[in-house]
Amino acid sequence: MRTKASPKQLILGLMLAAKGKPVKAAHMVLAGQLFGVSENHVRVALTRLSGEGFLRSVSRGVYTLGAKAVPTGDDVKDWTSRLTAPAAWTGQFIAAYTAHLGRKDRQQVQLRERALALYGFRPWHAGLYLRPDNLNWGLDGLEARLHDKGLDPETTLFKMLPRDEAEQHAIQKLWDAKKLERFYKTHADKMNLWLSNYGKMPLERAAKEAYLLGSEGIYQVRHDPLLPAQWLDTTLRSAFFQCVQQFDQAGHVIWHTLQQRILKDETPLY
């Protein structure tokens, strides 16, 4: 588990956790105190993030995500849609062909590769990325999400069936299903243990650990390749996803309670 965060990372993490709602500077100063970040450093980071376009001031001392952070913010707000996205798999793959696209614009290349990785695509051959065709969004729904995350509109998306069983097995090795299963179990166990014990912790410690452990779980859900049931134990994945939801809800309550107690503020952080 991460134990430290830079002022910028902490602020952006809190803003993303707020799921698009405005956040008061006082809330971020409080969070900074829990992580050993001074009020001055938090306010300097707020100014810099605003100047860089990652934050936008909506009123005195109140911020929301700026234009540069909106795509990531939308992704975080939408992370729960992944919990029910996997569907039955018939053996087909979705292919994204990018070999005809330019690579001189490094920023666009990074956006392209990040968007594909975010939705579980892995490089198969030069300029060709694959993922199993097992999402209930359909090809059009997946394509829209990819474009929202920065994939070039000129990318060619199509469905592909492996030539034979050997090729299918070779493609399947692009993902490490066993590693995913280990993470699901280990992290779910860690979160469940914490959920059963956090009531005995000082509130400040519970808030800090909820942020760190919860962020790690949500990050995995957001980046999970959502592999087919034929490849891994989906019971482990479902249990992990459910645990992340429970953890997220508990974290909201803890942080709200902390604000009420210390800031005397009824405004929810999330």
In this prediction, residues 81-110 reach a mean pLDDT of 91
Binned at pLDDT 50, 70 and 90, residue 253 comes out as: confident
Residues 159, 88, 84, 122: what is their CA dihedral angle, to the nearest 10 degrees? -40
> Taking the model in full, what pTM does it have?
0.80
Distances in Å between the Cα of 5 and the Cα atoms of 24, 70, 137 are 19, 21, 35
> CA 87, 91, 97: angle at the middle one, nearest 5?
95
Q: What integer is the mean pLDDT of 141-154?
A: 93
Could you tell me which CATH class the domain 92-161 is placed in? alpha beta
Residue 128 one-letter amino acid: L
Q: How far apart are CA 22 and CA 199, in angstroms?
A: 28
Cα angle 193-119-185, degrees, rounded to a multiple of 5: 20
Share the mean pLDDT of the chain: 87
pLDDT in tens, 5-37: 678 877 877 777 776 678 888 888 888 888 888
Lowest-pLDDT range of 82-91, 134-143, 196-205, 252-261? 252-261
**Among 266, 257, 248, CA closest to 18:** 248
SS3 category, 167 = helix
User: Could you give the CA distance from residue 220 to residue 240 in angstroms, rounded to a whole number?
Assistant: 10
Question: Are the beta carbons of 205 and 32 closer than 8 angstroms?
Answer: no
Measured CA distances, 57 to 106, 166, 173, 259 (Å): 30, 56, 47, 21
Per CATH, the number for 7-69 is: 1.10.10.10
Instruction: Report the chain's C-alpha Rg in angstroms.
Output: 20
**Is residue 81 very low, low, confident or very high in pLDDT (cuts 50, 70, 90)?**
confident
135, 87 contact by CB (below 8 A): yes
Which pLDDT score is estimated for 2? 47
Q: Where in the chain is the domain with CATH 1.10.10.10?
A: 7-69
Q: What is the rounded average pLDDT of the residues 82-88?
A: 89
pLDDT band at 152 (very low <50, low <70, confident <90, very high): very high
Given this model, what pLDDT does residue 252 score? 84
Q: What pLDDT is attached to residue 1? A: 45
- The pLDDT of residue 159 is 96
Inter-residue contact 224 to 132 (CB < 8 Å): no
Residues carrying CATH 3.30.70, the chain:
92-161
Q: 74: burial class by Cβ within 10 Å (0-12, 13-18, 19+)? A: middle
Question: Does the pLDDT at position 259 exceed 90?
Answer: no
- Average pLDDT value for residue range 224-242: 95
CA distances from 240 to 34, 192, 209, 213 (A): 27, 10, 18, 13
23 against 235, higher pLDDT: 235
Specify the length of the chain in residues.
Answer: 270
pLDDT tens digits for range 53-65 = 888 888 888 888 8
